[in-house]
Structure 1
Amino acid sequence: MSGAGYDGGFSAGEFNTIAARTAACVAACDALIAASEDCADACLAESGDGDVTACFLADLDCIEICASTSRVLSWHTRTDGPTAASMLDTCMEASRASSAACERMLQHRPDWTSCAPECRRVTDACAEVLALL
């Protein structure tokens, strides 16, 4: 997100702050994709029950939504559009759902490979960008 292109009417300082927060959000989404893939892989190794299935499906949702959010935020020089805001909201919701599913897995499997910390990081990063828009 360089200063080139549409800046949404923000001052240079505001735009740079938004660009930095957006870059951090993209990095968090990308890290969560990897963590969710590991978590989903761990789900496949488990014998299926409701918690395993819920965790696996939440991981898949999170992977796809984080990937889409990362792409949308990465290719736009405009950071205040309704599409970006909707993607951020959706990404936060998917991250919360995935975190909750992983937390349920941890209750029964203490050695679980959990993506919950990365989910919380994404939720926080998305909220920080939304707060600046």
Structure 2
Amino acid sequence: MHTQNQALLDALNACIAACEHCATACLQEENVKMMARCISLDRDCADVCALTARLTARGSEHAQHLLRECAEVCKACGDECEQHGAHMEHCRECAEACRRCEQACRQGLAA
């Protein structure tokens, strides 16, 4: 596998893990209702990243289409998590993983 694809897959998998952890942690917060958008974006982001990783790993011709969407979802999730990151470590970590993944997806599109 190409080094670039491996770096992309690493970023996608790290983002999946961070989003899943963040969603689970958000469900444990005192005011879960306030975290609804964060949880929803975490779940969407993890799912889109997972599909993008699978198509990238198999060299699918459709991976390029998903990279654009994946970058968008990662940006939205990162933006949302940043709003909570000052007082929630899991959101701060998720925002960082989303930013790295967004960047990796955009680099994959440029390649």
Fold shared by both chains (TM-score > 0.5): yes
Q: Displacement of 1:58 after TM fit?
A: 0.3
- Stretch deviating more after TM superposition (111-120 or 27-36): 111-120
Q: Tell me which residue corresponds to 1:49.
A: 33
Q: Which of 96, 105, 108 matches 1:126?
A: 105
Pairwise CA RMSD of aligned residues? 1.4
Structure 1 residue runs of 5 or longer lacking an equivalent are 2-18
Higher helix share: 2
2:16 equivalent to 1:33:
yes
Q: Displacement of 1:84 after TM fit?
A: 1.5
Deviations 1:33-92 (A, max 9, x none): 111111001110012234x0000000000110000000000011x6xx3x1111100110
Q: Displacement of 1:104 after TM fit?
A: 1.5
Structure 2 residue runs of 5 or longer lacking an equivalent are none
What TM-score do you get using the length of structure 1 for normalisation? 0.75
Q: Tell me which residue corresponds to 1:70.
A: 53
Identity %: 35
CA distance in 1 between counterparts of 2:108 and 2:4 reads: 6
Q: Displacement of 1:118 after TM fit?
A: 0.5
Equivalences for residues 1-133 of structure 1 within 5 A: 1=1, 19-46=2-29, 47-50=31-34, 52-76=35-59, 81=61, 83-106=62-85, 110-114=87-91, 115-132=94-111
What TM-score do you get using the length of structure 2 for normalisation? 0.89
